Amino acid sequence: MSKTSDNIQVIIRVRPFSEGERREDTRSCVLTDPSRPNCIVLDAKPEQKLFNFDWVGNERTTQQDIFEVIGKSMVQTCLEGYNCCIFAYGQTGAGKTYTMQGRVLEAHGEDISHKGLQPRVFDYIFALKAKDMQENNNIHYLVSCTYLEIYNEQIMDLVMIVIYSNLTLSQIVGTCKCWTSSKRRFEERCLC
């Protein structure tokens, strides 16, 4: 995604079939076409329907591809002082959690290809800022984020694992979490 593009962009990631879907020989109704890279085709009756988006990832799209398309430019925009947000939307089982978090990684000998967008973005931010701090010892950074899940009209803070009931999003955003230190060891500090 480029800095010259619109503020709001819509990307689609078509997930591959699960093991169960493959065993049942399921047929996909969402198709991608390499000749139309920003388009998905719904295999509907009586005729197919085409939908265009800012970017479309097919079943072979990797976690690294998603990071290259979304994560890197978003980090650069944040580091220039702009607020950024990724809004993952879809039905249960669509792949939102996998795309955002990836698979839970063990401490040793992991295949990092399944690491999600969120840890890749944090790794990238901390790598860039560590380089800056090595070049100049007088530079210090404070990184903050809010990571919320909205489900059944309940808002859950996935950083602090708190469920907010009967609050609006604007009331929750006033509570902030920050981490300093390295990307491997976070210290929680309240700024509010």
The predicted pLDDT at position 136 comes to 85
Q: Where are the alpha helices (DSSP H) in the chain?
A: 19-23, 63-66, 72-79, 96-100, 117-135, 169-173
The predicted pLDDT at position 57 comes to 93
Q: Other CB atoms closer than 10 Å to residue 57's CB: what's the count?
A: 20
Alpha-carbon distance 15 to 100, whole Å? 13
Name the β-bridge partners of 178.
144, 189
Under a CB-based contact definition with an 8 Å cutoff, are residues 147 and 182 in contact? no
Instruction: Give the model confidence (pLDDT) of 70-103 as tens digits.
Output: 999 999 998 888 888 888 898 888 888 889 988 8
Alpha-carbon distance 58 to 156, whole Å? 30
Amino acid type, 17:
F
The predicted pLDDT at position 139 comes to 79
Band the pLDDT of 184: cuts 50, 70, 90.
very low
Q: Which residue has the higher pLDDT, 3 or 135?
A: 135
The predicted pLDDT at position 126 comes to 86
For 106-110, 157-161, 173-177, which range has the lowest pLDDT when averaged over its residues?
173-177
Instruction: Give the model confidence (pLDDT) of 48-71 as tens digits.
Output: 999 999 999 999 999 999 999 999
Under a CB-based contact definition with an 8 Å cutoff, are residues 36 and 30 in contact? no
For 23-32, 64-73, 99-108, which range has the lowest pLDDT when averaged over its residues?
99-108
The predicted pLDDT at position 69 comes to 93
The overall longest dimension of the chain from CA atoms, in Å, is 65
Band the pLDDT of 106: cuts 50, 70, 90.
low
> Mean pLDDT across the stretch 11-19?
89
Residue 37: cis peptide before it, omega within 30 degrees of 0 = no
Name the β-bridge partners of 122.
none
Nearest to residue 56, comparing CAs of 26, 30, 83?
Answer: 30
The predicted pLDDT at position 167 comes to 52
Q: Does 187 have pLDDT greater than 60? A: no
